[in-house]
Chain A
């Protein structure tokens, strides 16, 4: 009953004119930047953090959540029209979405993606509303050992599911942890790995790392394509942005199935949207009576993955808000933003700041509706962004990155750090080292070490504490399973391929 009151009160926060405005602004900016090829939600949120400096935390977080799902949505437009997904989770949308666009059904593909996103997003947020409270009740029982094993699980899950090579993902995760140890150790007051650089005493800011790795790195990668003369073909948008009755009938079930898959996968830590959309695509192809149409522009192949992708966004907010543990790159950036505002998400936040939590959750219902209303009529306008020449756009992104980093502390040295991360981000892309695990462990590293040391202090130095409770044992078991998951998945893939060949 008390929760219900909080949920209703949340709407009174979310419906305040100022917060409505920030929801709108977040969705709008998120969509715009999401449409721009090459910039995913992680970089979008990090780049727009300076915009929120003057705001109160509730409004800032409401806006950032809007940016998050706005950017996810914007990414599908890029996938459909130029076959260049803004981020990995739109890869599946590109397969049939781009074919639909080539067949002259671009408007229908964009419409199904907008409607599917709205339905899936709303189902996802209902799931978030329902699951948040039971999970926080459980999370209140968590001590340092449980938190440590939970973070360990999140990292193993993310690194086992990101990229092609588990070893490279593990390297990425550990590099993030190493960067997190730079700075003054909070417990002993000793500087670690600062090399006498004063700017490193407070550690490496996550905004610097995210902007460098994702924005500057991506710009360098895009510039490489430009030097090589690779130019994406943009499909012109013709006709109405709407679907035929037949297309709609074919899409309803995929949207509902995709929503469930997306939400469930979103709650679990790991590659999130990408895995969710792949699973939804595979499911639709299996369920279809005409699997041969997939890859040729089947509307189900857009509806399912798009729904999964957007329900995943809401699902990913569940562990972030209830446990304070993000399940992937973009939510890790969100956690970093929370911490910047002095807010630690987790079960205590639900007790101490119900207005903030439920205001944020409820704003997502409104934001989703806004996205739908915004996108159907304005899609033509957003699409125009794709016509901005890369030669103008890429330098502008570099300048925006500069503001994003400089605005934090007004320090030029941090800009050079950002540039170093940018070069590293470019190289990592080239050699297939995934970036999301690095960001996740960079954001979680500090808290992880603290809980490790607290747990060891409690146990008097006995590591058995990490298997000392049923929750710990479960989490350790899940971590071990996720380490071997890539091997199991490979087996399943091989079996699938064999079955297909026969």
Chain B
């Protein structure tokens, strides 16, 4: 099942990519190939790779083990948690510049740790605050700029 989805996605990506290639404006002066030739080649190569995958799937078709494994590949319960984590990361990114690195990072880390490392409130709090403050200080010392945000330092 998973392989069928990969195959469909591969073909879709190749087709969209090849279509987008036709939209590149090109003035072919002094460059006989222009900006489209190489992308066209790799677009076609992706279609060939898709065909190879189809061939592999056809050869493996009799093996039941592979199919069972495919069905259990994505557990809905796990996916829900991971989707929430991904959204939470997105929220963290959107808050990073407004709140500043130290506050945003602490606010990001603590709930995640509270979920994945349950019940250890003190260790989680120390890790979240300590890490945010320490890395901020370290990277400023290394001349790497991190957003300061609402804090005065």
Which residues of A approach B to under 8 Å, CB–CB?
A: 50-51, 53-54, 165-168, 170-171, 174-175, 177-178, 181, 185, 187-188, 190-193, 216, 220, 223-224, 226-228, 389-392, 394-396, 398-400, 402-403, 406-407, 410, 412, 415-416, 419, 422-423, 426, 430-431, 433, 449, 452-453, 456-457, 460-461
Contact = CB atoms under 8 A, between A and B. Distances in A.
Contacts of A226: 116
B98 to A, nearest CB: 10
Interface of B: 2-3, 5-6, 10, 13, 17, 20, 24-27, 31-35, 37-39, 42-43, 45-46, 48-50, 52-53, 55-56, 73-75, 77-78, 81-82, 85-86, 89-90, 92-94, 96-97, 105, 108-109, 112-113, 115-118, 120, 123-124, 127-128, 131-132, 135, 139, 142-147
7 contacts: A51-B142, A174-B49, A187-B35, A223-B85, A392-B123, A399-B105, A430-B73
A455 B22 CA distance: 23
Given A392-B113, A399-B131, A412 B96 contact: yes
Contacts of B142: 50-51, 53-54
Contact of A456 (B33, B56, B123): B33
B96 A406 contact: yes
Of the listed residues B24, B48, B74, the one surrounded by the most CB atoms of chain A closer than 10 A to its CB is: B24
Main secondary structure of the interface of B (DSSP, over half): helix
Contacts of B108: 395, 398-399
Given A168-B53, A190-B26, A452-B33, 12 more contacts: A51-B142, A165-B56, A174-B45, A187-B31, A188-B27, A395-B109, A396-B127, A399-B108, A403-B144, A431-B6, A431-B73, A460-B32
B93 A227 contact: no
Nearest to B46: A174
Contacts of B56: 165-167
Given A178-B17, A426-B82, A406 B32 contact: no
Contacts of A174: 42, 45-46, 49
B77 A227 contact: yes
A482 B117 CA distance: 46
B35 A190 contact: yes
B50 to A, nearest CB: 7
Contact of A407 (B49, B93, B128, B145): B145
A227 B3 CA distance: 25
A423 B33 CA distance: 35
A162 to B, nearest CB: 14
Of the listed residues A188, A398, A419, the one surrounded by the most CB atoms of chain B closer than 10 A to its CB is: A188
Contacts of A423: 86
A389 B118 CA distance: 11
A493 to B, nearest CB: 16
B18 to A, nearest CB: 10
B78 A412 contact: no
Please list the 3 inter-chain residue pairs (A to B) with the smallest Cβ-Cβ separation, ordered nearest first. A391-B117, A391-B116, A167-B52
A178 B42 contact: yes
Contacts of A422: 86, 89
Nearest to A433: B6
A53 B82 contact: no
Contact of B94 (A412, A433, A453): A412
Contacts of A227: 77-78, 81-82
Contacts of B90: 416, 419
B20 to A, nearest CB: 6
Contact of A175 (B2, B13, B31, B112): B13
A192 B36 CA distance: 9
A184 to B, nearest CB: 9
Contacts of B89: 216, 398, 419, 422
Given A224-B82, A407-B145, A453-B38, A392 B46 contact: no
A185 B93 contact: no
Nearest to B35: A185
A464 B17 CA distance: 27
Nearest to B41: A452
A407 B142 CA distance: 11
A171 B144 contact: no
Contacts of A396: 109, 127, 131
